[in-house]
C-alpha cells in the first residue's frame, strides 16, 4: 500500500515520518524543502524520541509521484487551490484521501476534485512546528480523530475504511479516535479553534494568558457558546457543557500558540476562511448569526492584510 | 460669574484657557501640573493661533477653590470617583455643572452628587492633546454640542440655562450646537465612539487605516448599526442612515487617534466602562444584546490590564 503526503510541514512531515519509520511506503510531495530533504532526509525532534528519516521518497512535482492508495492532505488550507491539479494525479481510482486540515467543508471541496475517492477528515490534536527545512519539532500531544465524509453532512458511521486507517496510524504509534459523524466532530473542533485561534493573534498572546485574564476568559467562553449555537443551527447536537470541557482541557495544556498564532508569527496567511467565515456562513444559512465570531473574523482580516 | 474647571488636560485645559482668554473668571483644579501651571501659566498651541495664559487661578485641592456658578467637569471618566468629594465643595447651590466627558449616564451620576444643580452634558468634537505639563496642543475641530440632563432620560428641550451656556462659549470663540434631547445626543456620539475608539486601540492604528481596509470598514459599520439598534431599544429614534453620515464625516477627517487611542499610548486607563459597558448594559436592560460591542469591550479590558 502506497501513502502520499501532500505538504510536509509541521503536520504532514510529522505523521508522514512516523508512518515511514514504522515501515509504510510513504511518498512526500514537497515544495521549498525538496532539495534539502532529498539530500539530508527528514528530521523529527520529538518529546517521544528524536529520529531522522534518512532516505525520503521526495518529489517536487505531482507528476513524478506514484499513484497512491492513501493520500494525506496536510497543506495549510490557504494553499488548497493547488489541490485541483495535484489530487487527480496522485490519488488512485477509488483510493482514500485524508484531510489533516483545520476548518469546515474541507472534505466537500476534495470530494468535488476526486469524486470516486473515499474522503476522510482527520482532526489533529498536535502541537508541532516546522523549525527549519526538513526539520520538525514535535512539542506535545499527537492524536488524530478520524471521521468519514458523507455528502449529506450526516453521520457516515464507523466504516471499514475508517477502521483500516485507524489500524495503520495505530501501528505508527499515533493515538487514534474515530468519530461516526465527521460534521459534528469538525464543529466540536471549531469550538476550541474559533475560541482560541483568533484571540491569540488579535491579542498577540499564548493560550495561558487568555485563560488567566477574567475578560478574555469570559470572551473565549461566549465565543464558544456561540459556536455551539452555530452547530445546533446546522443540525449537530453539541451541548453547552462541551464548553466547560474545552476550558478544563485548556487549563491542563502547556502554554500554547495555536496554528493561527504560529502562522501569524511566521508571516504566513491566516486560515480565516476555513476556521471563521465558513462556519459563520453555514450558521447564517441555517438562520443563526454568529455576531461575535464575525468581529474576530473581521479583525483577523485586517491583521492578515498587514502581516503579509 | 465664576467658572470652575475640574481637570485641566486636553479638554478642560483647552476650553478653560479659551474662556479665561475671553475675559471670564476661571478657576482651575489641577493635580500633577499644579506647581508648573502656577509658575509658568497654561500654554495653548492651536491651529487657530497660539497663546499663553500667564496668570492662572490654579488650585490643587477643591477646598481652596471659590464656590463657582458653572463647574466644568473635564476629568477622564476613569477618575470620576473623585467627583463625590470635589463637586459638593465647588458647585454653588442651584449652580450649573457641565460634563465634558465621553460615555453614557455621566450626568445621572453627577446629579446624584449635586441634586440641586442643573446638569448639562457637553459632547466635544475636539482633537487636542496634552503634550506636557500645562501645555495643550489643539490639532483640529473644537465645537461642543450641549444638551440638558432630564432625570427621566427624555428631552429637556432648549432651556434658558442651555442658551446662557451657549452664549458664554460662543463669546469664547467655541462653535456651539444645542441638542433638545441629551440622551439621544449621547447615543449619537456613541455611534462614532463605539465604532472607532475601541478598534483604533485593538488594531493599534489611526482612523484612516480603519477606513482604508475593507474588513475593518465593514466591521466599524456593523458596530455602528448595532449601536443604532441599542439606541432604538433604549427609546431613541436614531436612524440607520446616520451611519453613512458618520462614515462620510470620518473620511473627511484628518488621520486621527481618538481619545481612547491617546489614553492607550500614554499608558492611561481606558474609558471602557463609560464608552462600552454602560451602553451595552442599558441596551441589554431594554432587551437588546450588543454582541459585537461586547467582543470589543472584552478585548479592551484585556489590553487595558496589560497597559497599566
The pLDDT assigned to A255 comes to 81
What pLDDT was estimated at residue A253?
A: 83
Expressed in percent and rounded to 5, the helix, strand and coil fractions of chain B are 50, 20, 30
**Secondary-structure breakdown of chain A: helix, strand, coil percentages, each rounded to the nearest 5:** 50, 20, 30
- Given a cut of 90, whether residue B151 has pLDDT beyond it is no
Q: Which residue in B2, B92, B184, B189 is the catalytic one?
A: B189
> Which 8-state DSSP code applies to residue A237?
-
If you average pLDDT over residues B78-97, what whole number do you get? 97
B116 forms beta bridges with none
Domain coverage including residue A80:
2-180
Tell whether the model's pLDDT for residue A256 goes beyond 90. Answer: no
Gap between the Cα atoms of B230 and B195, Å rounded: 13
Count CA atoms within 13 Å of residue A307 on its CB side.
22
Distance CA(B211)–CA(B188), nearest Å, equals: 19
Is B241's Cβ below 8 Å from some Cβ in A?
no
Same domain, residue pair B233 and B300: yes
**CB-CB contact of A136 with A129 (8 Å):** yes
Q: State residue A189's pLDDT score.
A: 96
B54 vs B21: CA distance, rounded Å = 10
Q: What is the DSSP letter of B79?
A: G
Which pTM does this prediction carry? 0.94
- Whether residue B89 lies in the annotated active site: no
A234 and A139 in a single domain? The answer is: no
Q: Which of A203, A213, A292 sits opposite B291 (nearest CB)?
A: A292
The values of phi and psi at residue B136, to 5°, are -105, 135
d(CA A16, CA B214): 40
Pairwise CB contact (< 8 Å): A202 & B299: yes
More confident residue, B169 or A258: B169
DSSP tag of B138: E
Rounded to whole angstroms, the Cα distance separating A78 from A274 reads 8
Q: Select from B132, B163, B180 the last residue of a domain.
A: B180
Taking 90 as the threshold, does the pLDDT of residue A109 lie above it? yes
CA A41 to chain centre: 24
Domain end marker among B130, B161, B180: B180
Provide the terminal-to-terminal Cα distance of chain A, rounded to the nearest Å.
Answer: 40
**Contact across the interface for B302 and A222, Cβ inside 8 Å:** no
Question: What is the C-alpha to C-alpha distance for residues B112 and B87, in angstroms, rounded to an integer?
Answer: 11
Check whether A292 has a pLDDT greater than 90. yes
CA nearest neighbour of B274 among B103, B157, B64: B103
B166 and B209 belong to one structural domain: no
pLDDT > 90: percent of chain A: 92
Contact B294 A203 (CB under 8 A): no
Residue B213: closest C-alpha in chain A: A302
ipTM: 0.93
| b/e burial code for range A263-280 (CB count within 10 A of at least 16 → b) | bbeeebbbbbbbbbbbbb
For residues B299 and A222, what is the distance between their CA atoms, to the nearest angstrom? Answer: 12
Would you call B296 and A295 a contact, using CB atoms and an 8 Å cutoff?
yes
Q: List all residues 6 or more positions away from A258 whose beta carbon is below 8 Å from its beta carbon.
A: A193, A196, A197, A200, A207
Does residue A210 surpass a pLDDT of 80? yes
Shared domain for B200 and B281, answered yes or no, is yes
Compute the nearest-CA separation of B131 from chain A (Å).
28
Same domain (yes/no): B194, B61: no
Q: What does the alpha-carbon distance between residue A233 and residue B107 come to, in Å, rounded to a whole number?
A: 43
What's the mean pLDDT in A117-145? 94
Residues A164 and A203 both lie in one domain: no
Quick check: A308 pLDDT over 80? no
Cell of A9: 510541514
Nearest Cα residue to A287 out of A235, A238, A220: A235
Residue B299's closest chain A neighbor by CA? A216
Which three cell numbers mark A200?
491569540
Q: Over the stretch B31-86, which tens digit does the pLDDT of each residue have?
A: 999 999 999 999 999 999 999 999 999 999 999 999 999 999 999 999 999 999 99
Which of A185-189, A205-209, B149-153, B224-228 bottoms out in mean pLDDT, i.e. has the lowest? B149-153
Say if residue A10's pLDDT is above 90. yes
Which residues of A are the active-site residues?
A: 189
* Percent of chain A's residues with pLDDT above 70: 100
Partner residues linked to B98 by β-bridges: B72, B120
- On whether the CB atoms of residues A292 and A228 are closer than 8 A, the answer is no
What pLDDT, on the 0 to 100 scale, is given for residue A282? 98
- Clarify whether residues A82 and A218 are in a common domain: no
Is residue B78 within 8 Å of B271, Cβ to Cβ? yes
Chain A residues whose beta carbon lies within 8 Å of the beta carbon of residue B301: 213-216
- Give CA angle at A13 (A10, A14), nearest 5°: 75
Question: Helix, strand, or coil here: A71?
Answer: strand
Q: What is the CATH number of the domain that holds A11?
A: 3.40.50.720
Alpha carbons within 13 angstroms on the beta-carbon side of residue A95 total 23
Does residue A158 sit in the same domain as residue A112?
yes
Burial category of A18 from C-beta neighbours within 10 Å (exposed 0-12, middle 13-18, buried 19 and up): buried
Distance CA B216, CA A294 (A): 11
**Averaged confidence pLDDT in chain B:** 96
Q: pLDDT category, A151, cuts 50, 70, 90?
A: confident
pLDDT digits (tens, 9 = 90+) for B2-40: 999 999 999 999 999 999 999 999 999 999 999 999 999
- The whole-number pLDDT of residue B219 equals 98
Note whether A63 and A89 are within 8 A (CB).
yes
| H or E element that contains B195 | helix B182-202
Rounded Cα distance, B124 and B121, in Å: 10
Q: What is the average pLDDT score of chain A?
A: 96
**The three grid cell numbers given for residue A62, joined into one nine-digit string:** 505531482
Residue tagged 481596509 (cell numbers): B213
Confidence class for position A124, pLDDT limits 50, 70, 90: very high
B180, B212, B240: which is the final residue of a domain? B180
Q: Determine the average pLDDT of the residues in B256-284.
A: 95
In this predicted model, what pLDDT tens digit does every residue of A26-64 receive, in sequence order?
A: 999 999 999 999 999 999 999 999 999 999 999 999 999
Residues B18 and B167 in one domain: yes
Residue with cell 476526486: A114
* CATH number of the domain where residue A270 is located: 1.10.1040.10
Q: Give the model's confidence band at B256: pLDDT under 50 very low, under 70 low, under 90 confident, else very high.
A: confident
**How many residues would you count in chain B?**
308
Q: Are residues B166 and B268 in the same domain?
A: no
Maximum Cα–Cα distance for chain A, whole Å? 54
Whole-number pLDDT of residue B184: 96
Q: Could you tell me if A237 and A166 lie in one domain?
A: no
Is residue B76 located within the same domain as residue B169?
Answer: yes
Q: Which residue of B has its CA nearest to A218?
A: B298
Structural domains of chain B, count: 2
How do residues B104-141 score in pLDDT, each as one tens digit?
999 999 999 999 999 999 999 998 889 999 999 998 89
Q: State the smallest CA–CA distance between residue B280 and chain A in angstroms.
A: 14
Amino acid at each position: 500500500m502506497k501513502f502520499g503526503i501532500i505538504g510536509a510541514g509541521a503536520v504532514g512531515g510529522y505523521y508522514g515520518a512516523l508512518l515511514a519509520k514504522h515501515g509504510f511506503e510513504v511518498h512526500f510531495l514537497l515544495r521549498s524543502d525538496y532539495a534539502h530533504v532529498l539530500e539530508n532526509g527528514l528530521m523529527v525532534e520529538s518529546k517521544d524520541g528524536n529520529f531522522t528519516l534518512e532516505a525520503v521518497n521526495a518529489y517536487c512535482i505531482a507528476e513524478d509521484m506514484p499513484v497512491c492508495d492513501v493520500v494525506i492532505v496536510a497543506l495549510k488550507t490557504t494553499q488548497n487551490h493547488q489541490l485541483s491539479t495535484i489530487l487527480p494525479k496522485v490519488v488512485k481510482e477509488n483510493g482514500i484521501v485524508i484531510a489533516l486540515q483545520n476548518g469546515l467543508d474541507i472534505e466537500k471541496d476534495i470530494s468535488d476534485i476526486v469524486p470516486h475517492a473515499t474522503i476522510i477528515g482527520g482532526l489533529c490534536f498536535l502541537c508541532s512546528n516546522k523549525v527549519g527545512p526538513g526539520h520538525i519539532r514535535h512539542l506535545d500531544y499527537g492524536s488524530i480523530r478520524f471521521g468519514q465524509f458523507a455528502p449529506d453532512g450526516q453521520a457516515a458511521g464507523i466504516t471499514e475504511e475508517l477502521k483500516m486507517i485507524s489500524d495503520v496510524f495505530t501501528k505508527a504509534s499515533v493515538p487514534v479516535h474515530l468519530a461516526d459523524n465527521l460534521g459534528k466532530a469538525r464543529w466540536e473542533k471549531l469550538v476550541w479553534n474559533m475560541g482560541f485561534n483568533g484571540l491569540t493573534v488579535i491579542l498577540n498572546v499564548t493560550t495561558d494568558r487568555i485563560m488567566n485574564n477574567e475578560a478574555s476568559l469570559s470572551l473565549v467562553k461566549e465565543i464558544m457558546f456561540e459556536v455551539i449555537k452555530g452547530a445546533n443551527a446546522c443540525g449537530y447536537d453539541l451541548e453547552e457543557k462541551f464548553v466547560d470541557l474545552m476550558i478544563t482541557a485548556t487549563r491542563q495544556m502547556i502554554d500554547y500558540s495555536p496554528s493561527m498564532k504560529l502562522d501569524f508569527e511566521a508571516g504566513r496567511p491566516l486560515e480565516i476562511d476555513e476556521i471563521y467565515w465558513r462556519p459563520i456562513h453555514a450558521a447564517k444559512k441555517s438562520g443563526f448569526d454568529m455576531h461575535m465570531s464575525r468581529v474576530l473574523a473581521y479583525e483577523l482580516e485586517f491583521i492578515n492584510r498587514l502581516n503579509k
